[in-house]
A = this chain, B = another copy of it.
Amino acid sequence: MNKIETVQPDTEALPVTRLFARFAVAPIDETAAHEAKHVACLSLLDWIGVAVAGADEPVSQIVRDYVASDGGTPEASVIGHPTKLPARAAALSNGAASHALDYDDTHFLHLGHPTVAVVPAALALAEKHKVSGAAFLDAVLVGVETACRVGEWLGRGHYQHGFHQTATSGTFGAAAAAARLLGLDEDRTAHALGLAATKASGLKSQFGTMGKPYHAGLAAQSGVEAALLAAAGFISRPDGMECEQGFGATHAGEGNDGALGLGTLGRSFVFSEVQHKFHACCHGTHAPLEALISARDDHGIAPEDVSRVEITVNPRLLKVCNLEQPATGLEAKFSFRLTAAMALYGHDTTVLSSFSDEMCRAPELVRLRDKVRVATDETLPESAAHVQVARSQGDAVTVHRDICDPLPLAQREAKVRAKGAGLLGADRADRCWQRIQDLKSANAAIDLRHLAEL
């Protein structure tokens, strides 16, 4: 569809905060949102898997113990904690837990992780206010779409300046979802977003520390607080995103209209293009892994027959995930060579426990690892890889993969469910998926304990 045709002058002319406020509270166009809603269900299953699996990470425990110590009104479920806690607290704790493994979904327009900021906020307020499953799912749809579109509006310049969109755009997304769940009108929602504009924070320089996963919880918490205060009559700047010295101007925002144009909000959903992570290791290794799995499964390559593997990637990735001889499970996640050997030997790279110190020492893997060579090609995007696998028989297989290439929805569903099975166990993941599917028409109040079998 031509971009110009999709822009309605009436919405295009609205100031940015007002535009997002209107979108946040408007009825959902079910036709336009059909695919995105299915993807939202996938992201929800994915979120439950990574949040449950991440709940025992040190950062998750520290944040959970902190909110548990505060205690308070039992409003919302906290993964890993026996009783409910205030919505704000649950959003913080569940947000941090779900980003602890860095195994959650990514959006390349948003430039970050939208679901880990939005779903914890939406879940917490939906439980607090006993909102139906259907309304909860709508709030997730609107919140993630908002986070992605705000991320686009801020643009790469915002990210390059040092801000972490997961935290910053995430706060706006969480506030939008929260405002919708509280039934705020457009004006009150603009105040919630205006308050989000003065609360949103989070720096990329925290990468590699607990600060990164904490950012997801911080965004969720800030979104909940902004919406609850706005609901109570708090006056902020209802044009806080775009006003003079507002969030955009002070935070190196580019003010982009975005790939689809902000005027399409509500009629087109970029949420559909969210990327689920299918390997429990560095995102840079994913394209080679997908190519190698295809060589194995589609071209019948057996690991014993391999004489040589050549992986070609963008040279920027060499600094990210090219540890040649990893010795620990953590190092294995950043090794093109070892993960390649793991994939060819059929080890399940979707499973966290596959990345162990033992895996790094296994003799057959070390032998195959040493047959892998990493080459570079500046013309390749960071999301892509060429892989050539030569066999001792003399022939070779070449596969190209770009993880941003669209995947048919049925295939995405199968992959997300397989990942969920690895994280939650097959039966539990199946039951979760069924319950999530049922949300679309659920009138009963949502309950995370039931949904995720906590």
Chain A interface (Cβ < 8 Å from any Cβ of B): 58-59, 62-63, 65-66, 69-73, 86, 88-89, 161-163, 167, 194-195, 197-206, 209-211, 214-215, 218, 225, 228-229, 232-237, 240, 243-247, 249-250
Residues A86 and B72 in contact in the complex (CB < 8 Å), given A209-B235, A245-B203: yes
A240 to chain B, nearest CB (A): 7
Contact B70 A73 (CB under 8 A): yes
A256 to chain B, nearest CB (A): 20
A160 to chain B, nearest CB (A): 9
The 4 residue pairs across chains A and B that have the minimum distance between CB atoms: A162-B245, A72-B72, A201-B201, A162-B250
Contact A237 B249 (CB under 8 A): no
Q: Report the Cα distance A86→B71, complex, angstroms.
A: 8
A292 to chain B, nearest CB (A): 34
Contact B210 A198 (CB under 8 A): no
Residue of B nearest to A160 (CB): B245
SS of A interface (majority): helix
Task: Name the B residues within 8 Å of A245 (CB-CB).
Answer: 161-162, 203-205
Task: Name the B residues within 8 Å of A72 (CB-CB).
Answer: 70-73, 86
Contact A250 B203 (CB under 8 A): yes
Residues A233 and B86 in contact in the complex (CB < 8 Å), given A71-B73, A203-B247, A250-B203: no
Residues A237 and B205 in contact in the complex (CB < 8 Å), given A62-B229, A232-B62: yes
30 contacts between A and B (CB under 8 A): A58-B233, A59-B235, A66-B232, A69-B73, A69-B86, A70-B89, A71-B71, A71-B86, A72-B73, A161-B250, A162-B246, A197-B205, A198-B202, A198-B215, A200-B201, A201-B201, A203-B240, A203-B246, A203-B247, A204-B245, A205-B240, A205-B246, A206-B240, A209-B235, A209-B237, A210-B235, A210-B236, A211-B235, A211-B236, A214-B229
